[in-house]
Structure 1
């Protein structure tokens, strides 16, 4: 089917990912969905729950409020006017837990049943809203619908991490499924230059560079406005060294311990869900000036950034992180605060004129002191201005340009 530029922009977007709209931390896919929905209808498909997930998490509020949709397929499409006028969240029915199976016919058969079940729920949602044709945007969920639904008019696949370097659960089937998705898609995207190069070589198909961005309209508040101190920070001694995001396998916990010891006159505050167990032998709870705030919604993060004195990105430098363009870097910069990071990827080096990049512990810790001491309003404004060039609105414009080029070939 041929589409003009005008036709493409009239189509609704169905987006799948490995996150849920009300998850514990901000995600690129959710940010994209919200921005797309300013102009057109978007159905954001929650990462599916399997039967095992439901049994294990059945007492959680996130599962309880989805119970009717998960078990009976009722009330599965939820309008989200508070997030976007044309934005909807779709809760798919429960899926079979198949990822533990070895590759082969039995896995393929059961995975295809899951895909059919998921595609059916998507079609039902589209019919409810009066649509037939749609853009299927798989934002890094190769475990489901790596081969887009047959009814999709346009298929876009986006990769956001080096799946072969992630946890075994994901790479077991996900690595091959991702290559399959790229080969099937009309347009394939990668959020980092290393990832773009790697996937182009492995798939034999051109993959476009499509970096992450920031909700500048939200995070600029940390720079522009006088924001009240969050309750969680009121009893924490200042100055504060801050981090926001998933506390997971990407972080260098030896470096974090060093930061806390070196800066024992400061507080180190980590805002985000704790998923570090199994990734470090350090008892982080025994470090006296290290504080865990817990997960916060994206809308709460600017109030924390506004009251941090400096921000850190203490990522490991390894196979996982060398393919990362971190979502949070532009959020940090929008706040105007100084930033110290490890040089973990080619993409973080793009910001070298506005942030400090140090690998070893001594240099990283000295940089924190220097950046706090030498910070100026002029430097803060330069960081803010850089972030203003990396907004989701700019990325959406880039997306349409790439898609128009694809369909004009």
Structure 2
């Protein structure tokens, strides 16, 4: 490592792993960062591996069908994605063994290492195909793989980024992920955390320094919701106004009692949730029976500005618990780039740092009242302040900060 200057490191390809796939149902911080890095250097964005069981269960889906040759035979595993980044590649690794069900011990470690070798070999082969040997390994929150790198996998620099409190997530992820994440941090040269709470927790648990590296927004993409009059999406044409919106995964993080309360308190307002519906088992409320609650299904990140531009207000109705207190939500800067008023629950120190640009309320009645007040009292001046705040939280700024942290780590 010592023979590389920071200018030389900036030229190296980046191999990024995460728990998201590049063509998933909703945007992810890892994918956004990969696209930004790829403007100036090759980036291999590694798909979250499909296990044998995943392949069997999902064999009829479009995601598996288009990857079948790569998953089974290693063919067409590396694909350029010039529409997303100048030097961006998607790498599909071969099928891995399902090992997470095993108890921690010798068998689990043996099979997990077999998976890691299989993943490492596919990455090395992908690098060969673009004539690269030296590389930066950037694990963006995938502690289930490569927390111990195989002997033949020799990155010039190893980076680990935590983006969520895995110790408070579902049992499947935390079973091995919690311990694996600490090991990944101890093995990395540079460690990053997207929230202040994560930074504090992980430093205490690992005994290593962890840098604060918050999420950002694709400002150039989302600013059009502020700058331009965009066509009304087909899904919104029959929905009464005013419309308030949420974009993102409809999952365990959301407070469904709060959502129901907002709708009941403001029956003349339409609440539109844009994203995949993964709320089964997380609420007993029949959301489809709420008359002024609407679902559009998942939409690609490139489509979201069209929705934001026609929403009158945006919400972040997260629960306040051990999961969300470690979240710097990706969407906050996307929301602010649109210039629209935002009402959120005070779920983390990171979201609270945006006050007073956004309103913060926890209970349904106060939240519903804040929505009404923000709709009635919004101004062009307030809108511009939100927009300008988002302009300072871009992925390009985060990339600059990354190289600064790397230079500090190695005193370059």
Please give the TM-score of this superposition, normalised by the length of structure 2. 0.99
Q: Take 1:91 and 1:264, find their aligned partners in 2: how far apart are those partners?
A: 47
Which contiguous aligned blocks of 4+ residues in structure 1 show a shift greater than 6 angstroms?
A: none
Q: Take 2:83 and 2:148, find their aligned partners in 1: how far apart are those partners?
A: 32
Check the 8 A contact 1:158/1:189 in 2, yes or no. Answer: yes
Deviation of the 1:138 alpha carbon: 0.1
- Which range moved further: 145-154 or 38-47? 145-154
**DSSP-derived class of the 1:10 partner:** coil
Question: 1:8-407 residue pairs with structure 2 within 5 A?
Answer: 8-149=9-150, 150-407=153-410
Q: Take 2:170 and 2:90, find their aligned partners in 1: how far apart are those partners?
A: 27
Q: Take 1:320 and 1:266, find their aligned partners in 2: how far apart are those partners?
A: 29
Q: Which runs of 5+ in 1 are unaligned?
A: none
**DSSP-derived class of the 1:292 partner:** strand
Deviation of the 1:7 alpha carbon: 1.5
**DSSP-derived class of the 1:157 partner:** strand
Q: Take 1:253 and 1:187, find their aligned partners in 2: how far apart are those partners?
A: 38
Deviation of the 1:216 alpha carbon: 0.2
Check the 8 A contact 2:346/2:361 in 1, yes or no. Answer: yes
Q: How many residues align?
A: 409
Deviation readout 1:353-395 (Å, 9 max, x if unpaired) = 2000001111101000000000000000000000000000000
Q: Take 2:292 and 2:382, find their aligned partners in 1: how far apart are those partners?
A: 28
Check the 8 A contact 1:136/1:148 in 2, yes or no. Answer: no
Deviation of the 1:148 alpha carbon: 3.3
**CA-atom RMSD in angstroms:** 0.7
Q: Take 1:27 and 1:217, find their aligned partners in 2: how far apart are those partners?
A: 17
Q: Take 2:149 and 2:343, find their aligned partners in 1: how far apart are those partners?
A: 41
Q: Take 1:263 and 1:46, find their aligned partners in 2: how far apart are those partners?
A: 42
Deviation readout 1:212-252 (Å, 9 max, x if unpaired) = 00000000000001100000000111111100000000000
Q: Which runs of 5+ in 2 are unaligned?
A: none
Deviation of the 1:100 alpha carbon: 0.7
Deviation of the 1:181 alpha carbon: 0.5
Check the 8 A contact 2:262/2:365 in 1, yes or no. Answer: no
Deviation of the 1:73 alpha carbon: 0.5
Please give the TM-score of this superposition, normalised by the length of structure 1. 0.99
Check the 8 A contact 1:137/1:156 in 2, yes or no. Answer: yes
Deviation of the 1:10 alpha carbon: 1.4
**DSSP-derived class of the 2:10 partner:** helix
Q: Take 2:292 and 2:59, find their aligned partners in 1: how far apart are those partners?
A: 35
Deviation of the 1:57 alpha carbon: 0.5
Deviation of the 1:288 alpha carbon: 1.1
Check the 8 A contact 1:273/1:295 in 2, yes or no. Answer: yes
Q: Take 1:146 and 1:233, find their aligned partners in 2: how far apart are those partners?
A: 44
Check the 8 A contact 2:116/2:149 in 1, yes or no. Answer: no
Deviation of the 1:147 alpha carbon: 2.0
Check the 8 A contact 1:17/1:29 in 2, yes or no. Answer: yes
Q: Take 1:55 and 1:288, find their aligned partners in 2: how far apart are those partners?
A: 38
Deviation readout 1:274-331 (Å, 9 max, x if unpaired) = 1100111111111111111000000000000000010000000000000000000000
